[in-house]
Amino acid sequence: MSDLTFMMGKFEAHIPTDRVYSDNHLWLQADGEPNCYRVGFTAYSVRLLQDVYFLEWSIDPHSTVHKKQEIGEIESSKAVSTLYAPADGTILDFNERLLDDPSAINTDGYGKGFLFRMQTEVTFLTPEEYIAHLAAGWDKTEKLIKGQYN
C-alpha cells in the first residue's frame, strides 16, 4: 500500500492510505475494537507546527467530547496551539509516552507518535478526500506561512 503525497511548496507531506482523516489535520486508524481509532497529527500538520516539544491534555481519559472541543495544548518551535477533538465521541486514553518525550510526533507521527485512542461513530475523509481538502486551502495557508495574508 503506497502513500499519497501533497506538496507543500517544495516539501512533501505523505498521506498514508491505510487510515482516514479529519478536517482538522488528524489521522485516524482503526484500532481493533468497533469504532475505535488511534489518532495522530498528519504530516501536513507536523510540517506546519515544526518541532513539537511539549504536549498537555486538558481532559481526562474516558471523557466524552464533541467535535472542535478543546482537549489539550501543544507547543512547538512555531507556536503554542490548542488541540481540538476531531469528532464527537469518547477519548479512551492518551499516549502517555508523549507527555515525557513528545519527539515521536516529529519522528514517527504515523506510528509511535500517535496522540490518543478514541471511540466514535463518525465517518471521516478518505485519503483522497483529505488531499482535496488540503489543496482547497493551500493558497490561504501558504500566504499565512509567508506572512502575506491580508
Q: How far apart are CA 82 and CA 26, in angstroms?
A: 13
pLDDT tops 80 at residue 145:
no
CA distances from 115 to 7, 15, 39, 71 (A): 24, 17, 6, 11
In CATH terms, 4-145 corresponds, of 2.40.50.100, 1.10.10.10, 3.30.300.90, 3.40.50.720, to 2.40.50.100
pLDDT at 150: 44
pLDDT, tens only, 67-114: 999 999 999 988 899 999 999 999 999 999 998 899 999 999 999 999
